[in-house]
Structure 1
Amino acid sequence: MNAVPPIRIRKINDASVNDKGCYILYWMISNRRVRCNFSLQRAVEWAVRLKKPIVVLEALRSGYPWASDRFHRFIIDGMADNIRMLQNHGFVHYYPYVEPHADAGKGLLANLAKESCIVITDDFPAFFLPKMVDAASKKIPVKLEAVDSNGLLPLRGTDRTYPTAFAFRRLLQKVLPDHLLAYPEIDPLKGLRLPAAVAPPETILKRWPEALNLMENGEVDLGRIPINHNVPPSRLKGGAREARKRLLEFIHRRLSGYETDRNHPDEDAASGLSPYLHFGHISAHEVFQEIADSEEWFIHKLSEKAQGKKYGWWGMRASAEAFLDELVTWRELGYNMCVFRKDYAQYESLPDWAKATLLTHEMDRRPYLYDRAALEDAQTHDPLWNAAQRQLVREGRIHNYLRMLWGKKILEWSLSPREAVEVMIELNNKYALDGRDPNSYSGIFWCLGRYDRPWGPERPILGKVRYMSTKNTARKLRIQDYLAAWGPEVEL
């Protein structure tokens, strides 16, 4: 087994390894999968070194921001998959825990850690997870390591943020080849011989019961958990099995036309993988490898020129390179922002030129003004925008191209740019399966100028921020089937 690259391992506290502990504890918080998981691979390294079994704790809080039936169900789908994938490994005890009420899980991690040699967790740079890990580090009596399994480029593969996708792409083309050789194990548990699994003490299991009963026959009773029941589960099923199924379906049916069809809502040519990447049900490494295999690609096909160009560097077909630009460049650009800017979700994080031009036009007259309730209920004059909002509320996603229009119009229809940011974050994080994610915040703030440049002519309200028109969008794109599915057909 290859070692986890040191650049992906971060020491969180100053405690020591307890050689006399009963097990290696993997606290699974964002890489909610078995395959291609550097965190689990690191836990295996310690298990082999110390000759100990592994306990995998996957806990689901009920009191986190925007907790709802939609997100709980998606995560619990993944837990059910993890049960199936881990149950045949006699040296692993999988411990799924779902809080019955807010703060009921307090003390669980610390008590499990007391019996462990070391705790391994996931290094995710956004939402409440960094603060949660930091708080836990003060209560865990053994060494705590956070492992980065987020993308092809390690989070600390650079030491600064990048202002544009072009600049970040050029960096990737310079440094990524070395990291592509350090690939996570597809199945880090395969072929291992370790001591038999050790169940946590009965006192722990009694106080914090395992959530196996929530997953019997695939049925999940969410009604007794104090979360938002007004955001129902999406028709999209979560979990590693569904993620891999969607990946292979995308490659076989839609990848070849991705470059030309992805912007057309009627074609629905996107991969649909963003929720699964967000919840860690599939790895960016696994997605990349399947794309590469379908292209019969090897690393020697990479161009030696790091010019920051979107096409030509990978040595694949244009459709595959267009998809990889989304998966690697744009997705990991968002992670880069979250690592180095703690204000990544705040208005102040916008580039200076964007803040200046929006301030200049902040008092411009708005032809249309909608409060958050009207926007949430898709009660605007714009049928295409309403359709996108309905898709978000009902399905938990918006077509990728229309997501940009969605944000631009909220900026135009709000009292101020700051209010627009607040509304976008609230609606996106409340309903989107891939919300609360670095890539999702990139999309929101792109609508106000992040990763972009000043545009002319200068316009009311937006100033020099890039403008998007519903009429132009409707004229360029095939949208009739989309409007029929998510809203009435109206001439735009």
Structure 2
Amino acid sequence: MNVPDIRIRQLNQAPLKGDGAYVLYWMIANRRTRYNYSLQRAVELSQALNKPLLVFEALRCGYEWASDRLHQFVLQGMAANQKSLKDSAATYYCYVEPEAGHGSGLLKALATNACAVITDDFPCFFIPRMLEQVAPRLPVSLEAIDSNGLLPMRAASQVFPTAYSFRRYLHKKLPAHLLERPQTNPLARIKLPPLKQIPTKILERWPQATEKTLQATPETLAEFPIDHQVGPSVFQGGMDAAKSRLKQFLDKRFDRYLDERNLPEEDVTSGFSPYLHFGHISAHEIFDQIINCEHWTIEKVLDQKATGKRAGWWNMSETAEAFLDQLITWRELGYNMCWQRADYDQYESLPDWAQKTLEEHARDPRDPCYTREEFENAETHDELWNAAQTQLVTEGRLHNYMRMVWGKKILHWSVSPQEALQTMIYLNNKYAVDGRNPNSYSGIFWCLGRYDRAWGPERPIFGKIRYMCSKNTARKFSVSGYLERYCRESRQGQLFD
């Protein structure tokens, strides 16, 4: 099955050159070899032109928030891709920039010898700007392929204000797209002409990453001009690690997910978001595994009414439906926003009602009121909040429920909602492996009213923004184990605000 046209975006007017040496797949967001529409499209072109396929994956060191944590995760993913492509019909070329700017000119040099360049479409962080700048400079056709989610980003022509409205749209439109699925392994049983060699001049100037570099040891990471204060996360990157996480979730956590996913002390959430963000796993692969467990077929939704309700439409178990609402509705709602609004990360993108109520309470007294540094160092009076921040800083992740409380209290204790937003973005993007993603921006902006409605009673500082606090969290769930694990100092009786 060919890649659907709706997932292919032509970025320039340069021609496809049939006399080129290879088809170039520039892997920038879908950093995997499975369930990858971009790789599938590159294989299609290679077959049609009877040309070799060169898969090019690079890692810059000059990107914002570059750190040992993010570098190690990406390098581990590159090592997994190198292993996966070793005996395939494609040639894999991975380049790791030793200093900022060293990789300048490499893509154009590779494109000069190419028939066409295929890359990944991703609506967030620096990637849209990079593609916009690169496209007119390349001498050959450049296509960006959407392999982000089950619904193609271009399928919806509007920004949805709530999960309910987006869910209703999905109920109507998603079944048709579920009939179009990426190939499990686009390179399986494929024969292509071998690439004799990457041009020597290119390899001399931009050497292929060594095995030592891809091992991403602390000694190796120390050589890069990146932030070494943000240490590696507690989990490993790459396709193999992602597949292992998926199996572990289905075998040991899935049955507990519905009842225990919001419990801070329990580790039953999927943990997929870092792997989804860096493209080490596809939402399609996760979906396929879920429906296999549920013995589900597409016929179960073809005649379903579009209700917009969270449960019942899929005709699956409650647990599966709850999980799919997170994987599809909430995750792809963020992609919908980022794809269509360049200001997705700006305060002005909040709903009018949220901006109005926050402005009405902008001069309410804040006591306490913390600086960004105090937040970053987990130096608040609230031990449960400090525990959440400590988890984020030390592990590179934050429990899903605690992430909401974490954001709400930053709003509560900041000098203004605008400053609160910038603090959340800074901390999340610096420390969370799944930061800099449409879904993580959704979570941050939800704390300020995006995708929500006005709530009562109206409160100081929050106005009509939904209120959450540590004290209520501790009433709803046991948090003693969470505090014991992440709190540096436990002052019993003075834990919560």
Q: TM-score, normalised by structure 2?
A: 0.97
| 1:49-448 → structure 2 map (5 Å cutoff) | 49-89=48-88, 91-215=89-213, 219=217, 221-302=220-301, 304-448=304-448
Structure 1 residue 214, shift from structure 2 partner: 3.5
Relative to structure 1, the CA distance from residue 217 to residue 365 in structure 2 (aligned partners, 3 Å threshold; closer, same or farther) is closer
Distance in 2 (alpha carbons) for counterparts of 1:289 and 1:193 = 27
What secondary structure, in the 3-state scheme, does the structure 2 residue paired with 1:200 have? coil
Tell whether the 8 Å contact from 1:22 to 1:117 is kept in structure 2 after alignment: yes
1:250-277 C-alpha deviation (Å, 9 max, x unpaired): 0111111211100001111100110000
CA distance in 2, matches of 1:388, 1:219: 27
How far off is 1:224 after superposition? 1.2
Q: Secondary structure of 1:266's partner?
A: coil
Q: Secondary structure at the match of 1:163?
A: coil
Q: In structure 2, what is the Cα distance between the partners aligned to 1:197 and 1:210? A: 16
In 1, Cα distance between equivalents of 2:232 and 2:197 = 32
Distance across 1 between alignment mates of 2:8 and 2:174: 18
Equivalent-residue separation in structure 2 for 1:118 and 1:23 (angstroms): 8
Task: Report the Cα offset of residue 215 of structure 1.
Answer: 4.0
C-alpha separation in 1, matches of 2:282 and 2:339: 19
Cα shift at 1:482: 1.1
In structure 2, the partner of 1:31 is 30
**What per-residue deviation string (whole Å, max 9, x for no partner) do you get for residues 12-50 of structure 1?**
000110000000000000000000000000000000000
Q: In the TM superposition, what is the alpha-carbon distance from 1:306 to its structure 2 partner?
A: 0.6
SS in 1 for 2:80: helix
* C-alpha deviation, 1:238, in angstroms: 0.3
Whether the 8 Å CA contact 1:93–1:199 is kept in 2: the answer is: no
Give per-residue Cα distances to partners, 1:86-144, cap 9 Å, x unaligned: 0001x311111111111111100000000000000000000000111111112110000
Q: Which residue of 2 aligns with 1:12?
A: 11
The list of structure 1 runs, each at least 4 consecutive aligned residues, that deviate by more than 3 angstroms after superposition, is 213-220, 488-492
Equivalents in 1 of 2:363, 2:93: separation in Å? 54
- Per mean C-alpha deviation after superposition, the further-off stretch among 387-396 and 468-477 is 468-477
Residues 123 and 149 in structure 1, CA contact (< 8 A), matched pair in contact too: yes
CA distance in 2, matches of 1:180, 1:160: 20
Matched letter for residue 166 of structure 1:
Y
**1:463 equivalenced with 2:433 (yes/no):** no
Counterparts in 2 of 1:414 and 1:477: CA distance versus 1, 3 Å: same
Structure-2 change in CA distance of 1:216 and 1:368 (3 Å):
closer
Gaps of 5+ in 2: none
Q: Matches of 2:152 and 2:30 in 1, distance apart? A: 15
- Call closer, same or farther: CA 1:217–1:344 in 2, change over 3 Å: closer
> What is the CA distance between 1:193 and its match in structure 2?
1.1
**Distance between the aligned counterparts of 2:348 and 2:198, measured in 1?**
46
**Cα distance in 1 between the residues matched to 2:448 and 2:429:** 18
Letter in 2 for 1:388: A
Q: Give, in whole Å, the separation in 1 of the partners of 2:275 and 2:80.
A: 13
Quick check: 2:117–2:141 contact (8 Å CA) kept in 1? yes
Amino acid corresponding to residue 474 of structure 2 in structure 1: A
Q: Which amino acid is 2:430 matched to?
A: K
Deviations for 1:364-420, whole angstroms, at most 9, x for unmatched residues?
Answer: 001210000000000000011000000000001110001000000000100000000
Question: Which SS does the other structure have where 2:210 is aligned?
Answer: helix
| Range with greater deviation from structure 2 (296-305 or 279-288) | 296-305
Distance in 2 of aligned mates of 1:198 and 1:258: 50
Please say if residues 127 and 436 of structure 1, whose CA atoms lie closer than 8 Å, have aligned partners that are also in contact: yes
Give the direction of change, closer, same or farther, for the CA distance of 1:157–1:114 in structure 2 (3 Å limit): same
Cα offset for 1:336? 0.2
RMSD of aligned Cα (Å): 1.0
| 3-state SS in 2 of match to 1:338 | helix
The change in CA–CA distance for 1:147 and 1:361 in structure 2 (over 3 A counts) is same
Say how many residue pairs are matched: 490
Q: In 2, are the aligned partners of 1:93 and 1:198 still within 8 Å (CA)?
A: no
Q: How far off its partner does 1:218 sit?
A: 6.4
* Percent identical residues: 57
Per-residue CA distance 1:137-157 (angstroms, 9 max, x = gap): 121100000000000000001
Report if aligned partners of 2:72, 2:216 keep a CA contact under 8 Å in 1: no
Deviation, 1:198, is 3.5
Counterpart amino acid of residue 211 in structure 1: A
Given that residues 22 and 198 in structure 1 are in contact (C-alpha distance below 8 angstroms), is that contact kept between their aligned partners in structure 2?
no
Contact 2:75–2:214 (8 Å) recurs in 1: no
Q: TM-score, normalised by structure 1?
A: 0.98
Instruction: Tell which deviates more after alignment, 324-333 or 476-485.
Output: 476-485
Deviations 1:160-201 (CA, angstroms, capped at 9, x unpaired): 100000000010010000001100000000011110124220
* Aligned counterparts of 2:187 and 2:227: Cα–Cα separation in 1: 37
The AA in structure 1 aligned to 2:322 is: A
8 Å contact 2:25–2:55 — kept in the other structure?
yes
Quick one: which amino acid aligns to residue 428 of structure 2? N
Q: Structure 1: which 5+ residue stretches go unaligned?
A: none
Match of 2:153, SS state, is coil
CA contact (8 A) 2:75 2:215 kept: no
* Alignment match, 1:482: 482
Contact 1:55 1:198 in 2 (8 A): no
Q: Distance in 1 between matches of 2:147 and 2:345?
A: 22
Residues 33-69 of structure 1 show CA distances to partners (whole Å, capped at 9, x for unaligned) of: 0000000000000000000111111011100000000
Distance (whole Å) between structure 1 residues aligned to residue 422 and residue 482 of structure 2: 27
Per the TM alignment, residue 235 of structure 1 is displaced from its structure 2 partner at its CA by 1.6
Is the 2:76–2:214 contact (alpha carbons within 8 Å) kept by the matching residues of 1? no
AA aligned to 2:96 is V
Mapped to 2, the partners of 1:386 and 1:296 lie a distance apart of 43
Contact 1:256 1:320 in 2 (8 A): no
